[in-house]
A and B are shown apart, each in its own frame.
Chain A
Amino acid sequence: MSRMLLAAYPARLRRKHGAELIETLVEMAGSDRPTRAEKGWLVLDGLRERFRPPTRRPLALVAAILALLIGGALGAAAGSWLGTFGYAALPDAGALSQRVLPQTGGDPVGGNSDNYFSISGAFPDGADAKQAAEQTRQKLAAEGWQTGPIGYGDGVDGILANVHFTAQTSDAQLDVYAYPDANGAQVISLSGWPKRPAAYVPLTIAGTLLGLAAGWLIGVALAHRIQAARQPRRSAILTTIGLALAIPSAAGFIASLLRYLTANDPLRMSELVHANGFAFGPTIELMRALDLDSGSLLAPGDLGQLWIWGFALIAVAAILARPGNASASALTGERVDAGQPG
């Protein structure tokens, strides 16, 4: 029973004061048994200790705050990823292209990914891009898609000159682009993605809150562990590097998530934060917006992986931070007073 009550306390306090805690609880109850309320307070006080960072350690506090923020970002990623399970099933790209793209005999290129599809095919030599787009638009409308007006891109915005329109159903969105000159070829492409289901935002918020709490608890526990370690410096350095590696992924993901949640419809397929399953990093669209998509030091894919290395380093730091003699010395009573004026 007492072991269950003490489980609320951080391990270091349990090791150091566990027996005394129970002893004092029993002594305070006197000849009676401790009441339910007294036991409840014992557990609550223990949980509160878990949230308490080391005193007078500004760097440990900074690390715990970073762990809080990174935890919140990872929780948001987990929550929003769970939200994608509510995405509607998308039409099969190959079958749809058979029905709505001009049939030239060539095989269309592309297919379905986890949460989007993209496929492109040629349109006949001599055919006009606007005509090709208009035909596809009519076929989509006949299949029940609500189609938007035809628009034109002149190529100055970084996208090849094109004719385009959007189409949508109640739970999916489609972009259609016809390029009269894609490196000499005439190409028409479809890309589609699901609309956000109602549960997406609540799941994301719940994930964020859980992640914030977990991040703070882990950060505080690690800070205490490193403080009491025999060789704290080694673990502190590893933790610092680990946090530094995780920050770009966390910041990139949160910025991308905010874009995804606030972008005006129709958003672009590349705004999807979990286009290919779980992701914790910036989208290509964010990198483009920041002008980091080409020739930058790190590709979006790298930023999506960095956090794994960061977390691995932090795990190594935690393993290496074995409790030293400092925490045990208090039990012997032979401890030299720390903080004694020099």
Chain B
Amino acid sequence: MHRLTLYLVGRTVLAVQEPTFLILTALAARPLHGYGIVQSVIDLSDGEVKLRPGTLYGALDRLDQQGLIVVDREESVDGRLRRYYRLSDSGAVALTEQAERLRRRATAAATQLGLRPGVAGGAA
């Protein structure tokens, strides 16, 4: 699992593992509660990343401390507590910057592959 660094307007906010990046991604669209985040991360990672409760809440705690997520609301379902989290404004900025960085990396990789000799469309 490779490490990623989250930036906020050029300032390092948090060095995170890929699961944490996926948690932010999951919360980008709408507020989710713990189990909702687990399911969303499975979908977003094509089934590769299955969070455990312990890693999920450890990550949520750090993201909350850095102000990247906030509690959206709490609901009681059949007497059970459900706490929904959402991306904060700074979390959205950090995720946008990170997504942009990853996009540039992916573009660079694709460009380099295109220059590979013997590949259609590449240099001869």
Contacts and interface: CB of A to CB of B under 8 A. Distances in A.
Interface of A: 9, 12-13, 16-17, 19-25, 27-28, 38, 41-42, 44-46, 48-49, 52, 54-56, 330-333, 335, 337-341
Contacts of B56: 24
Q: Which 4 A-B pairs have the closest CB atoms?
A: A45-B54, A338-B67, A24-B34, A27-B35
Given A41-B54, A338-B67, A16 B89 contact: no
- Interface on chain B toward A: helix, strand, loop, or mixed SS? mixed
Given A28-B35, A52-B58, A21 B53 contact: yes
A338 to B, nearest CB: 3
Contact of A41 (B35, B52, B62, B88): B52
A23 B80 contact: yes
23 contacts: A19-B81, A20-B57, A20-B81, A23-B80, A24-B34, A24-B53, A27-B34, A27-B35, A45-B54, A49-B54, A55-B15, A55-B62, A56-B13, A331-B83, A333-B70, A335-B67, A337-B70, A337-B89, A338-B65, A338-B66, A338-B67, A338-B90, A341-B11
B52 A55 contact: no
Contacts of A23: 34-35, 80-82
A9 to B, nearest CB: 8
Contacts of A42: 52-54
Contact of B57 (A17, A54, A331): A17
A330 B90 contact: no
B70 A17 contact: no
A109 to B, nearest CB: 64
A333 B34 contact: no
A24 B65 contact: no
Given A45-B58, A341-B9, A333 B71 contact: yes
Given A42-B53, A337-B88, A341-B9, A17 B66 contact: no
B66 A55 contact: yes
A340 B89 contact: yes
A332 B71 contact: yes
B41 to A, nearest CB: 12
Given A44-B54, A330-B71, A55 B34 contact: no
Nearest to A20: B34
Interface in B77-124: 80-83, 88-91, 93
A24 B57 CA distance: 10
A338 B68 CA distance: 8
A339 B56 CA distance: 22
Contact of A56 (B52, B66, B80): B66
Contacts of B90: 337-341
Q: How extensive is the interface on chain B, given as a class? A: 35 or more
- Interface on chain A toward B: helix, strand, loop, or mixed SS? helix
B3 interface: no
A41 to B, nearest CB: 5
B48 to A, nearest CB: 17
B95 to A, nearest CB: 13
Nearest to B38: A28
Given A337-B67, A337-B89, A45 B61 contact: no
A175 to B, nearest CB: 57
B9 to A, nearest CB: 5
B4 interface: no
B18 interface: no
Given A333-B73, A341-B8, A28 B53 contact: yes
B65 A13 contact: no
A333 B88 CA distance: 11
B93 A55 contact: no
B60 interface: yes
A166 to B, nearest CB: 58
Contacts of B11: 341
Interface centre among B14, B65, B91 (most CB of A within 10 A): B65
Contacts of A337: 67, 70, 88-91
